[in-house]
């Protein structure tokens, strides 16, 4: 870790992280209801669904911006067919007033067309007549199931010139996030980091989703924090619901440290906004 950490009191750091988070939602029909529970004008990231494709993301982006939300669509590279498709996507997003996009590679096994990586799409977008004020790329505090750390570092180095910030993959371990940020700073990657955290949800659903997105190490972290028996007691005692209290408290001391340059939290809400907003409201009230 940085030897010159500017420690922030926990309460101040929590407020810094939770006052204006970014909420990530999936472009399912339940989004309509989810949007009703978000603060007016909230920043909303909309994922690219493997089952619904990129079109659903664009359509929900248009709907949500019409309702006054600040929308950050995921433009997953492997879902874009070709340059003409990319032009169409960029034009629709620009017309909707979008100024910030997030560009992951995308998790479909076979790409829809010529773009196989986020770098392919970003470098092509650079040469088009469409420009976005902010562009996010992915960071992996716990590594990637199919790519080693050297490959990930090389990919980030290629994408960095086209990006303005990094969003971390879902992680439950604050120490892993801080250590990873130290590592990228040591490689002279200075982009602001938006820390990806889980929202509030039932443990059973959390485990299912976490296995699906490849963060089994995080689940093991949850278990080892108090051992398996402690994990089970916590599960029963909480009525089967996870809340990110310990994670946010672990990040709070670093919230305003310029070395880490945390620009906020990116909450993976998994379309369970009412419970998330209830927890966030209570947490903010307790620490004001």
pTM score:
0.87
The pLDDT of residue 149: 84
Query: Is 48 buried (19+), middle (13-18) or exposed (0-12) by CB count in 10 A?
Result: buried
Beta bridge partners of 196: 266
The pLDDT of residue 119: 97
The pLDDT of residue 243: 87
Q: Is 70 exceeded by the pLDDT of residue 12?
A: yes
Q: Is 80 exceeded by the pLDDT of residue 55?
A: yes
Q: Is 90 exceeded by the pLDDT of residue 270?
A: no
Q: Is 50 exceeded by the pLDDT of residue 227?
A: no
Measured CA to CA, the distance from residue 129 to residue 126 in angstroms comes to: 8
pLDDT in tens, 151-163: 899 999 999 999 9
Measured CA to CA, the distance from residue 213 to residue 209 in angstroms comes to: 6
Average pLDDT of the residues in 240-255: 90
57 within 8 A of 26, measured Cβ to Cβ: no
Domains of the chain: 10-200+243-280 (3.20.20.220), 202-241 (no CATH)
64 within 8 A of 44, measured Cβ to Cβ: yes
pLDDT band at 121, cuts 50/70/90? very high
The pLDDT of residue 226: 43
For 139, the token pair is: 């960071």
The pLDDT of residue 6: 57
DSSP-derived 3-state class of residue 192: coil
Measured CA to CA, the distance from residue 48 to residue 52 in angstroms comes to: 8
pLDDT band at 206, cuts 50/70/90? low
The number of beta carbons lying within 10 Å of the beta carbon of residue 132 is: 18
Beta bridge partners of 195: 265
Between 272 and 122, the higher pLDDT residue: 122
Measured CA to CA, the distance from residue 27 to residue 25 in angstroms comes to: 6
The pLDDT of residue 15: 95
Average pLDDT of the residues in 227-253: 72
Which residues, in sequence order, are CB contacts of 38 under 8 Å at separation 6+?
Answer: 23, 44, 69, 273, 277
250 within 8 A of 20, measured Cβ to Cβ: no
Question: Pick from 30, 127, 115, 43: which is nearest to 75 by CA?
Answer: 115
For 247, the token pair is: 């994670």
The pLDDT of residue 35: 97
């Amino acid at each position: 870790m940085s030897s010159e950490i500017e420690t922030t009191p926990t309460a101040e750091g929590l407020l810094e992280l939770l006052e204006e988070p970014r909420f990530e939602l999936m472009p399912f029909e339940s989004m309509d209801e989810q949007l009703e529970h978000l603060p007016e004008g909230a920043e909303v990231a909309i994922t690219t669904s493997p089952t619904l494709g990129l079109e659903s993301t664009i359509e929900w982006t248009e709907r949500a911006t019409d309702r006054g939300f600040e929308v950050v669509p995921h433009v997953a590279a492997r879902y874009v067919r070709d340059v003409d498709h990319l032009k169409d996507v960029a034009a629709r997003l620009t017309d909707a007033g979008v100024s910030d996009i997030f560009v992951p590679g995308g998790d479909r096994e076979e790409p829809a067309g010529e773009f196989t990586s986020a770098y392919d799409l970003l470098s092509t977008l650079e040469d088009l007549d469409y420009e976005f004020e902010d562009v996010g790329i992915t960071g992996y505090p716990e590594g990637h199931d199919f790519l080693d750390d050297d490959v990930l570092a090389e990919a980030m180095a290629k994408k960095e010139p086209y990006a303005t910030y990094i969003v971390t993959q879902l992680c439950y371990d604050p120490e892993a996030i801080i250590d990873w940020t130290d590592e990228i700073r040591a490689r002279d990657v200075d982009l602001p980091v938006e820390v990806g955290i889980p929202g509030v949800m039932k443990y059973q659903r959390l485990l299912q989703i976490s296995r699906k997105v490849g963060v089994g190490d995080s689940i093991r972290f949850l278990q080892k924090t108090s051992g398996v028996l402690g994990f089970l007691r916590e599960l029963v005692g909480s009525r089967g619901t996870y809340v990110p209290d310990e994670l946010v408290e672990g990040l709070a001391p670093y919230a305003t440290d310029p070395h880490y340059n945390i620009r906020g939290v990116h909450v993976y809400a998994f379309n369970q906004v009412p419970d998330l907003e209830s927890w966030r409201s209570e947490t903010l009230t307790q620490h004001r």
